[in-house]
Chains A and B, each alone.
Chain A
């Protein structure tokens, strides 16, 4: 390789190093127009990235718009449809109930978005919701026979969240330090946590009559349901953290190129640990809200399939599963779309079985339209 250069006759030329800073620019004069050059380095193109010729609908300005803002357009379209065609949709109560029902999904989706942002995934969020729900009555002192609280609500809530955070931390530790794939680790946690949750209440539903939980479920501030406030606040915090903090930027860089991040001194392991702990915490809050809304602990049912709904919400919102890019606003919109879709089907008396299938088709179709969003 090197001997080939022997014949070189000064091909590589440059200013004498003593001649001052390079910011003077060696080729700037010739390259004024290159500053916004778009074509990247020479390299293989995925055959899928066929931005092809005449009349290809996939490259038009409309489809670009759809790709970038698809989830919002879809959400608005759905709302418009409901306003026109769904009875009772325009009432304030209907909006409130939508916000309340979507709150747990928004929370787990926010956590899921963090995990997906690092190229990972968290399949344990649904079971972690159940765990949260199962721990609550234990700490409150409720049981199947005992339905008045014995201990402080703050303590019970803090305890439940601590347990779910610890569960997330455990997933994170196995992923970060033992290098096991997130899919496998959290799949294991999904099974284990659901089992743990159900065994804690011996598979029973336990009623919880507690003032704090009731206020959480039904209270409002300035007309906005508390549950919605909690969920949106959490999502907003996640969004700000991702965008403006060193931790958030590191999460994105790990997802974008883990090895380059490591070489650049990014604390990859501790960041992953925190990401899964946060996902556990958010799942805990979601489980808390679901239990409060239900007025009971029901670890057999709470959080079922939420991991998949959360992934759907994240992807629908425009976050690629390949990591390195997260949109929190899109994730919230994705969660709202999923909830609204399901509500719409219910109010149009679609069979739940049919509704699920239609939902599935819509999710896959939506993701299809979004793919190739600059990734």
Chain B
């Protein structure tokens, strides 16, 4: 294996170094004897499954947790952080997936929050503030951003870049980026990366955590792999293959992803389990029609902003529809009533696990039972034995890793939270499941588990509507793909035409592509070419730093 632990590093060479760090939470050993060195001018990936200890290590490096054992060095000098403030003073800045800035203030104010230039009278020097902000944005190739607009009015990706530039302005020597791209589109990711590269050129060092291995290979120089709270490998990024990295993370060799076999019996003749007719709702759902047969996996493909999430939310009744009908197993669903949809046998795993899914303070048990408590009660009292059986069965089936059904769901890792939510829906024995990006932000192991559950459900005859931001996953899982653009179904791709190339062409709205796709028999072009989607960050594409 290409990954070897490298010993005998000198603390002097590293801008931030951890030696022999252990961290226990009660009887749980979150980290055991972890050593980690970050050199100036490098982007260092921390890889590992959820629960491997990445978050804990980051929290120790940024002063949120004190290590139970071990030493920390900043530029060769041993340090003790007694809080995040200490780490910040030492030049360690953290950027999270969510932006911790003030949405109702301008970009410029946010850039200099807490260190605004002052006038003689001690008031904020507005002119200098905006001038400095302008310079700073220009310097990082983000001159297209208007420093005067409220931060909250900008797309999340831009907000994140503002946060990054803010950290750079504060002369951070070490930047910790924890899943910074989970909400960004492709163009935004590119701009973000160019800002990161610029920072690194200027001598900063970056610790980078992402579930997207592509990004690690694209951006990072070195990688340290954690598993079960231990360092299991460290390597230059150029010296390992993707497969080796995944194997190291999982601690065993994985089989290559295999495409879901076609359903044995032809489902063509079966009555549709779900049928959506001329559904309208909001600006992003326009005249959507499609059907899902039992045992079939239908992908809703579309870029961010294509209306894919809005479409499924309208089908399920989370958002109100403005026309059209949804039928499930012959029954017409009342619009705007998720409870009615659930009752009819529809399930909906929302995209945003934290906002729309998990009840963090409740136990794993109660989270799982949320949809089905009513069916499992007598005189309003939950039947404990029956409930317990369902919960333990589902926790087993989905291999939910928790200390038990009593653990609070908020304490679980992202992948396990997702499994709990999936369990919540499986408990209801749905006929059709709508899964909105079910593997988003979860680690490779949990991802594979979720994917195989989906395949299993389809094999058992459930109809599945699936959204994924990973084309590869979509292709492997689905029998048929509907491509959405601006809230409309523009193309349906099935059979042998269902491949990466065709979907990308359809997604991008490439006229040539659409033409070539429609030449194949299996594809039904639904609509004429629509106006291309407007990119949020169009002006940024060709910024000066873009290589």
Residues of A within 8 A of B (CB): 1-18, 21-23, 25-45, 47, 49-54, 56, 244-247, 249-250, 252-253, 256-257, 259-267, 324-325, 374-375
Contact = CB atoms under 8 A, between A and B. Distances in A.
A246 B380 contact: yes
Contacts of A52: 63-64, 66, 81-83
Contacts of A45: 59, 64, 84
A228 to B, nearest CB: 27
B470 interface: yes
Given A53-B83, A265-B342, A29 B252 contact: yes
Nearest to B353: A41
A245 B258 CA distance: 45
Interface in B388-424: 396-399, 401-403, 408, 410-414, 417, 424
Contacts of B382: 244-246, 249
A48 to B, nearest CB: 10
Contacts of B84: 45, 47, 50
Interface in B347-388: 348, 350, 354-362, 366, 369-371, 373-374, 377, 380-382
Interface stretch (B106-114, B132-140, B144-152, B444-452): B444-452
Contacts, number: 304
Interface string B160-175: 0000000000000000
Interface stretch (B10-18, B25-33, B321-329, B488-496): B25-33
Contacts of B52: 34
A103 B172 CA distance: 58
Contacts of A27: 49, 250-251, 445-446, 448-449
Given A17-B455, A22-B456, A1 B59 contact: no
A54 B65 CA distance: 10
Contacts of A3: 186, 471, 504, 508
Contacts of A17: 258, 260-261, 451-452, 455-456, 459
B381 A37 contact: no
B397 A23 contact: yes
B100 A44 contact: yes
A338 B342 CA distance: 45
Contact of B355 (A34, A250, A259): A259
Nearest to B30: A39
B236 interface: no
Contacts of B338: 262-265
A5 B470 contact: yes
Contacts of A11: 213-214, 242, 246, 257, 444, 472
B239 interface: no
B3 interface: no
Given A51-B64, A325-B361, A261 B370 contact: yes
B49 A31 contact: yes
Given A39-B59, A253-B366, A44 B214 contact: no
18 contacts: A4-B212, A4-B214, A5-B471, A12-B444, A13-B257, A16-B258, A21-B397, A30-B251, A34-B228, A38-B28, A52-B66, A53-B63, A53-B83, A245-B382, A249-B366, A257-B355, A257-B357, A257-B360
Given A26-B448, A263-B318, A253 B359 contact: yes
Contacts of A10: 243, 256-257, 472
Contact of B471 (A6, A26, A56): A6
Interface string B232-260: 00000000001100100011101111101
B420 to A, nearest CB: 12
Given A12-B257, A15-B448, A256 B83 contact: no
Contacts of A42: 54-55, 58, 96-97, 178-179, 209, 414
A45 B189 CA distance: 23
A8 B28 contact: no
A37 B359 CA distance: 18
Interface string B422-445: 001000000000000001010011
B303 interface: yes
Contacts of A35: 401-403
B98 interface: yes
Nearest to A262: B338
A37 B413 contact: yes
Given A249-B370, A260-B350, 16 more contacts: A2-B507, A6-B471, A8-B214, A11-B246, A12-B444, A12-B451, A13-B444, A18-B261, A22-B449, A30-B251, A30-B252, A249-B369, A252-B361, A253-B362, A257-B360, A260-B355
Contacts of A253: 359, 362, 366, 370
A253 B401 CA distance: 22
The 6 closest A-B CB pairs, nearest first, are A17-B455, A14-B448, A53-B66, A27-B445, A30-B251, A256-B359
A206 B447 CA distance: 70
Contact of A265 (B339, B408, B413): B339
Given A30-B251, A35-B401, A252-B362, A53 B55 contact: no
A11 B30 CA distance: 27
Given A12-B473, A41-B55, A249 B246 contact: no
A36 B28 contact: yes
B361 A34 contact: no
A325 B362 CA distance: 8
B194 interface: no
A9 B82 CA distance: 44
A57 B374 CA distance: 44
A26 B400 CA distance: 12
Contacts of B125: none
Contacts of A262: 318, 338
A355 to B, nearest CB: 35
A56 B361 CA distance: 26
B346 to A, nearest CB: 10
A42 B180 CA distance: 10
A183 to B, nearest CB: 21
A8 B186 contact: no
A47 B85 CA distance: 9
A23 B399 contact: yes
Contacts of A5: 214, 470-472
B448 A39 contact: no
Interface in B451-504: 451-453, 455-456, 459, 469-473, 476, 500, 503-504
Contacts of B446: 27
Nearest to A33: B228
